[in-house]
Amino acid sequence: MRIGIGYDSHKLVEGRRLILGGVEIPFEKGLLGHSDGDVLCHAIIDAVIGALGMGDIGKHFPDTDDRWKDASSIMLLQHIVELARTNGFEVAWIDTIVITEDPKLLRYVDSMKRALSQAGIPVSVINIKAKTNEGMGFIGRGEGMAAQAVCLLK
């Protein structure tokens, strides 16, 4: 078995759709990024890559590569789950935290799990938690969001 950890943060800006865990969430701002800025997917991707011992998300999907511009992060995650399979591993468990003051995410958790399962990770092995940052720091000021993930591969 192997374990990996992932972290990501993105800036919240006007004029972008908010995509989290592969789900579009109605909100006045979205996450800035070369891809769709899906901070939850990116944290999961880094956790899986970490468990594989294969570097990080930037190595596999460089933001200088136009192939990944505005790419769906679910597609990037699918690519990494397939890479794990090629190397003889299945995702046994993913636990995550999304940290943001707004919007409230609880009601989107089931849709996010279903969207993530399209990348090849069964709904039954994904947990998603949503937290605020109690008004502190860049997250508390609504300037951005962060996500953390751990992944167990077997």
Binding site for Mg ion (CB under 5 A): 8, 42
Nearest-approach distance from CB 55 to Mg ion, in angstroms: 15
CA 84, CA 50: separation in Å to the nearest integer?
11
CB of 33 to Mg ion, least distance (A): 5
Nearer to Mg ion, 19 or 84 (CB): 19
What is the 3-state composition of the chain as percent helix, strand, coil, each rounded to the nearest 5? Answer: 35, 30, 35
Residue 106 CB, shortest distance to Mg ion, in Å, is 23
Closer CB to Mg ion, 29 or 42, in the complex:
42
Nearer to Mg ion, 8 or 101 (CB): 8
Question: What minimum distance in Å lies between the beta carbon of 149 and Mg ion?
Answer: 12
Residue nearest to Mg ion (CB): 42
Measured at the CA of 70, the angle between CA 68 and CA 75, to 5 degrees, comes to 60
Comparing CB distances to Mg ion, the nearer of 13 and 92 is: 13
The three-state (H, E, C) secondary structure of 21-73, written as one string: CCEECCCCCEECCCCCCCHHHHHHHHHHHHHHCCCCHHHHCCCCCHHHCCCCH
